[in-house]
């Protein structure tokens, strides 16, 4: 493999620009006069060098809905967004509730080779919430599943959730919960509050999330298990998480970029591009989520990247499917909401987009320090450049981005997976 | 005015203009043997109803026909999705076929707004004839017309809206319009049938019907579908109140309660009524009830709406 030289980059956005040499997939030298002989040069222009991003929550839609996304197009979107590892949720068709499907996803990811694709296994058979899927078989398969989730559905039966948590302790895996008490969200369409009431959209109450998170924290604590909370969306959930962490519960949590930036004000047009589950919430929730991400109560950012076909979005609100694209816009939204506001520095960005998610999922070669001898999973960011989001220009098959037309800061200059450039200046390097 | 999608944001001057036009039309047609005006000759109006409705659809149809428009009724059963053509395609087809105005009723809140977006290029007007739990603006306008007729003005009048506010598009449209026209609105319902954030609405809220009645100028009753409300599996999870009997005891308008109201106060109901549930038969049939007036005024108000959407623009342009 040709050595790779980052010329004039600032690791974590700190200090004066240095050169970083990558050889054989490993960081070989960092400093002023590194070996240049025969190396491919990536001009850094003083940009910020970070560990490659890790996304605990994507929907790559393969197998089943290749008309909206494939592992190839999703991997391209991930590489362009600065990611070196992504987790593909289990709600495919067929469901990833067995070793055959998870190994297929894992193998397709390897064939594409733009990003490490880790399949998430279903907690229950068919995501039906009735009986446990074969967690052990999936964990011990070639895919080595480490994260299990029924995402899209809540494992709402408290006994089943307790069993899943207990069982998971022998496998050293984490159960990621989509926290939504289904009896409280029958027919729900929008964040429960004054706006949804006026718009005639049935409310999705904050308590439907908070009550499940509180319950699951207690169950995890009693089981001595690890719990991960998907897409935290309310200020109340932040309070519950803080309380649980103070008690020593082994709980981690993620927030999506869209919940950091958008509010239910978006619903006024009834355009379902803004429909997502959990729903866009109030300004007070957004403020609490940003604060929680800065303080570490919420551990990381995960996109919940959810491509949908045109006909599933260009329709009336209640008929539309929930979800939005996220892989190529996540960094920019984090820069806009967390860096420009002074809530996070670039060390903090590395923490929430790379280090913590890698730790939560137990990935040994991701989210590592930028240091000699470490694996070269890296992303170079131009922090000052801005770009305008155009759904059609994104790498995903679908184009359902809620950020259409927004000018956002932070551009990925290059993404490097084990020493190989996967994306550079907006283009995929096959 | 290009569309009539909601009373939320409808400016009071426009609302009053529609009501005045409706009054004029009513007077013009009064006692005429042939109740037909040539105003909308050559215009095509399509009603598109995705929910069962007799009174609203017929009212719009009569309104269009009395204005000499060509009225075509499209009835679609159930939701558009997964069962054939999408709402968007249906709308674009109707517009391409030459509809000047589409009147739509749909179970999804916001459906009329979406239609207006899709039809912006075609230039077709959209009238919301009821969208989910959102709005039913012509119902609010015909209620306002009826109240003006009975009470002279709405300015400073106190109107109680009683019943299932949570699921009611009629209540939402009335709250916005009555407030815009200067009325005081009080919502009377059990807490389970009031929407989240109702305290931010320009209304007062009460759970005691008897306490409100002596001060009202009108009571507007909402339909309460007990079978959906009391079972544990109904819409929104059900269990909104224990039983039809208990609801009727607390919130039903019966003879005794009618006596608590001032002499001049009126009773309105958007229909269809559940006699014995939210309204006693004797009340529904009493001279205090303006229920058939509402239906009569509905035609004139809808004529006025079509006039403002399809004829007025050209005259003022």
Residues in chain B closer than 8 A to A271 (CB atoms): 114, 117
DSSP 8-state assignment for residue A310 = G
Residue among A180, A184, A200 with most chain B CBs within 10 A, to mutate: A200
What whole-number percentage of chain A has pLDDT above 70?
100
pLDDT above 60 (res B78) = no
Q: How remote is the C-alpha of B5 from its chain's centroid?
A: 12
Q: Do A270 and B110 touch (CB under 8 A)?
A: yes
pLDDT above 80 (res B315) = no
Q: Helices B169-180 and B137-151: crossing angle, nearest 10°?
A: 50
CA distances (Å), origin A407, targets A344, A381, A385, A410: 20, 16, 10, 10
Ordered by where they begin, the domains of chain A are: 4-48+374-428 (2.30.40.10), 52-361 (3.20.20.140)
How far A196 CA lies from chain B's nearest CA (Å)?
A: 8
pLDDT above 60 (res B82) = no
Residues in chain A closer than 8 A to B117 (CB atoms): 269, 271
Mean pLDDT of B58-77: 92
Q: Give CATH for domain B138-291.
A: 3.40.50.1370
Q: Do A315 and B88 touch (CB under 8 A)?
A: yes
Q: Report which of A49, A43, A76 is spatially closest to residue A305, judged by C-alpha positions.
A: A76
Q: If you write DSSP's letter for every residue of A107-122 in order, what string do you get?
A: HHHHHH-SSEEEEPBP
The backbone region for B21, taken as left when phi is positive above 0, alpha when psi lies in -120 to 50, beta otherwise, is: alpha
The answer to whether the beta carbons of residues A121 and A145 sit under 8 Å apart is: yes
At B218-239, the pLDDT tens digits run: 999 999 877 677 766 656 668 8
Question: What residues have CB less than 8 Å from A38, skipping those under 6 apart?
Answer: A2, A3
Using the Cβ of A201 and the Cβ atoms of chain B, whether some distance falls under 8 Å is answered with yes
Q: What is the pLDDT of residue B313?
A: 57
Q: What is the pLDDT of residue B312?
A: 64
Mean residue pLDDT of chain A comes to 97
How far A215 CA lies from chain B's nearest CA (Å)?
A: 21
Q: Cite the active site residues of A.
A: 304
The answer to whether the beta carbons of residues A5 and A28 sit under 8 Å apart is: no
Q: How many CA atoms lie less than 13 Å away from A212 in the CB half-sphere?
A: 28
Q: What is the pLDDT of residue B227?
A: 67
Instruction: Give the Cα separation of A162 and B15 in Å (integer).
Output: 58
CATH of B12-136+295-316, one of 3.40.1010.10, 3.40.1280.10, 1.10.287.130, 3.40.50.1370: 3.40.50.1370
State the CB neighbour count (10 A cutoff) for residue A400: 27
How far A199 CA lies from chain B's nearest CA (Å)?
A: 5
Using the Cβ of A359 and the Cβ atoms of chain B, whether some distance falls under 8 Å is answered with no
At A225-253, the pLDDT tens digits run: 999 999 999 999 999 999 999 999 999 99
How far B107 CA lies from chain A's nearest CA (Å)?
A: 9
Residue A314's closest chain B neighbor by CA?
B88
Sheet holding A116-119, edge to edge: A53-58, A83-88, A116-119
At B140-176, the pLDDT tens digits run: 999 999 999 999 999 999 999 999 999 999 999 999 9
User: Per the omega criterion (within 30 degrees of 0), is the bond before B280 cis?
Assistant: no
The answer to whether the beta carbons of residues A10 and A49 sit under 8 Å apart is: yes
Residues in chain A closer than 8 A to B191 (CB atoms): none
Residue A203's closest chain B neighbor by CA?
B196
CA distances (Å), origin B194, targets A199, A239, B198, B252: 14, 28, 7, 16
At A286-323, the pLDDT tens digits run: 999 999 999 999 999 999 999 999 999 999 999 999 99
How far B220 CA lies from chain A's nearest CA (Å)?
A: 19
What whole-number percentage of chain B has pLDDT above 90?
81
State the CB neighbour count (10 A cutoff) for residue B248: 19
Our CA angle for B94, B313, B18, nearest 5°, is 95
ipTM rounded to 2 decimals: 0.91
Q: Do B87 and A198 touch (CB under 8 A)?
A: no
Of how many residues is chain B composed?
317
CA distances (Å), origin A386, targets A47, A303, A331: 13, 20, 12
Q: Where in chain B is the domain with CATH 3.40.50.1370?
A: 12-136+295-316, 138-291
Mean pLDDT of A410-415: 98
Q: Do A314 and B111 touch (CB under 8 A)?
A: no
Between chain A and chain B, the number of residue pairs with CB atoms below 8 A apart is: 89
Instruction: Give the Cα separation of B38 and B278 in Å (integer).
Output: 41
pLDDT above 80 (res B281) = yes
Instruction: Give the Cα separation of A356 and A376 in Å (integer).
Output: 17
Q: Helices B291-306 and B55-66: crossing angle, nearest 10°?
A: 50
Instruction: Give the Cα separation of A299 and B128 in Å (integer).
Output: 46
Mean pLDDT of A109-126: 98
Using the Cβ of A319 and the Cβ atoms of chain B, whether some distance falls under 8 Å is answered with yes
The answer to whether the beta carbons of residues B274 and B111 sit under 8 Å apart is: no
Instruction: Give the Cα separation of B126 and B122 in Å (integer).
Output: 11
Residue B316 confidence class, pLDDT cut points 50, 70, 90? very low
Phi, psi of B247 (to 5 degrees): -60, -50
Q: Do A200 and B237 touch (CB under 8 A)?
A: no
At A380-405, the pLDDT tens digits run: 999 999 999 999 999 999 999 999 99
Using the Cβ of A190 and the Cβ atoms of chain B, whether some distance falls under 8 Å is answered with no
Q: What is the pLDDT of residue B77?
A: 63
Residues in chain A closer than 8 A to B228 (CB atoms): none
Phi, psi of B38 (to 5 degrees): -85, 5
Pull the structure tokens for residue A416: 């490097």
Question: What residues have CB less than 8 Å from B30, skipping those under 6 apart?
Answer: none
Q: What pTM value is reported for the model?
A: 0.94
Nearest by CB to B109, from A192, A201, A269: name it: A201
The answer to whether the beta carbons of residues A300 and A260 sit under 8 Å apart is: no
Helix intervals (H) in B41-130: 55-66, 87-96, 111-118
Residues 259-318 of A with CB under 8 A from B: 269-271, 311, 314-318
Q: Helices A235-246 and A206-223: crossing angle, nearest 10°?
A: 10
pLDDT above 50 (res B96) = yes
CA dihedral sign, ordered B225, B229, B234, B236: positive
Q: What is the pLDDT of residue B52?
A: 85
Instruction: Give the Cα separation of A340 and A383 in Å (integer).
Output: 10
């Amino acid at each position: 493999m040709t050595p790779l030289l980052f010329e004039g980059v600032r690791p974590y956005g700190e200090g004066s620009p240095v050169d970083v040499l990558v050889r054989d997939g490993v960081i070989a030298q960092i400093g002023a006069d590194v070996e240049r002989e025969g190396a491919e040069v990536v001009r850094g222009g003083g940009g910020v060098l970070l560990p490659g991003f890790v996304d605990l929550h994507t929907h790559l839609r393969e197998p089943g809905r290749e008309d909206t996304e494939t592992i190839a197009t999703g991997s391209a979107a991930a590489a362009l967004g600065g990611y070196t590892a992504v987790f593909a949720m289990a709600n495919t068709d067929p469901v990833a509730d067995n070793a055959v499907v998870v190994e297929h996803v894992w193998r397709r990811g390897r064939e594409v080779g733009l990003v490490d694709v880790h399949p998430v296994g279903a907690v229950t058979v068919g995501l039906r919430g009735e009986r446990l899927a074969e967690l052990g078989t999936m964990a011990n398969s070639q895919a080595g599943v480490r994260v299990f989730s029924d995402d899209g559905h809540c494992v709402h039966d408290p006994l089943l959730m307790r069993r899943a948590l207990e069982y998971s302790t022998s496998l050293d895996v984490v159960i990621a919960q989509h926290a939504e008490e289904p009896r409280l969200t029958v027919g729900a369409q929008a964040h429960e509050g004054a706006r949804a009431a006026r718009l005639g959209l049935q409310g999705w109450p904050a308590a439907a999330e908070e009550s499940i998170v509180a319950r699951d924290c207690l169950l995890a604590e009693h089981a001595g298990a690890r719990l991960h909370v998907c897409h935290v969306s309310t200020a109340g959930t932040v309070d519950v998480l803080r309380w649980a962490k103070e008690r020593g519960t082994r709980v981690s949590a993620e927030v999506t970029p869209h919940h950091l930036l958008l509010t239910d004000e978006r619903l006024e047009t009834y355009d379902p591009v803004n429909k997502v589950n959990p729903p866009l919430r109030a300004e007070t929730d957004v403020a609490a989520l940003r604060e929680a991400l800065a303080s570490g109560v919420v551990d990381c950012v995960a996109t919940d990247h959810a491509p949908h076909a045109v006909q599933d979005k260009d329709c009336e609100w209640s008929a539309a499917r929930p979800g939005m694209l996220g892989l190529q816009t996540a960094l920019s939204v984090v820069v806009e909401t967390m860096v420009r506001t002074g809530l996070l520095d670039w060390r903090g960005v590395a923490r929430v987009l790379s280090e913590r998610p890698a730790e939560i999922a137990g990935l040994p070669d991701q989210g590592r320090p930028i240091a000699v001898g470490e694996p070269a999973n890296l992303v170079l960011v131009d922090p000052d450049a801005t770009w305008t989001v155009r759904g059609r220009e994104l790498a995903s098959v679908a184009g359902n981005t809620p950020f259409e037309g927004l000018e956002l800061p932070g551009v990925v200059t290059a993404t490097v997976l084990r020493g190989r450039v996967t994306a550079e200046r907006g283009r995929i390097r096959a | 005015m290009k569309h009539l999608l909601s009373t939320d944001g409808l400016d009071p001057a426009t609302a009053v203009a529609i009501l005045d036009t409706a009054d004029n039309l009513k007077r013009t047609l009064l006692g005429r043997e042939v109740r037909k005006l040539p105003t909308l000759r050559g215009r095509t109006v399509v009603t598109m109803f995705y929910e069962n409705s007799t009174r609203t659809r017929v009212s719009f149809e009569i309104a269009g026909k009395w204005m000499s428009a060509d009225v075509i009724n499209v009835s679609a059963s159930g939701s558009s999705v997964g069962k054939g053509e999408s709402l968007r395609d249906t709308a674009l087809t109707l517009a391409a076929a030459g509809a000047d105005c589409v009147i739509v009723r749909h179970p999804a809140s916001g459906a009329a707004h979406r239609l207006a977006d899709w039809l912006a290029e075609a230039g077709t007007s959209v009238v919301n004839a009821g969208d989910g739990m959102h709005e039913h603006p012509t119902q609010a306008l015909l209620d306002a017309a009826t109240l003006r007729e009975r009470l002279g003005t709405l300015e400073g009048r106190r109107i109680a809206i009683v019943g299932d506010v949570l699921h009611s598009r009629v209540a939402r449209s009335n709250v916005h319009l009555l407030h815009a026209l200067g009325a005081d609105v009080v919502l009377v319902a059990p807490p389970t049938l009031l929407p989240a954030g109702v305290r931010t609405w320009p209304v007062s809220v009460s759970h005691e019907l008897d306490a409100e009645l002596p001060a009202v100028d009108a009571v507007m009753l909402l339909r309460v579908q007990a079978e959906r409300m009391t079972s544990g599996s109904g819409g929104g999870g059900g269990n909104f109140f224990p039983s039809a009997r208990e609801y009727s005891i607390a919130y039903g308008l019966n003879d005794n309660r009618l006596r608590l109201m001032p002499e001049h106060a009126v009773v309105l109901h958007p229909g269809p009524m559940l006699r014995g549930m939210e309204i006693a038969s004797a009340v529904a049939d009493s001279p205090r009830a303006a229920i058939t007036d509402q239906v009569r005024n509905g035609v004139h108000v809808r004529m006025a709406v079509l006039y403002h959407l399809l004829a007025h623009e050209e005259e003022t342009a």
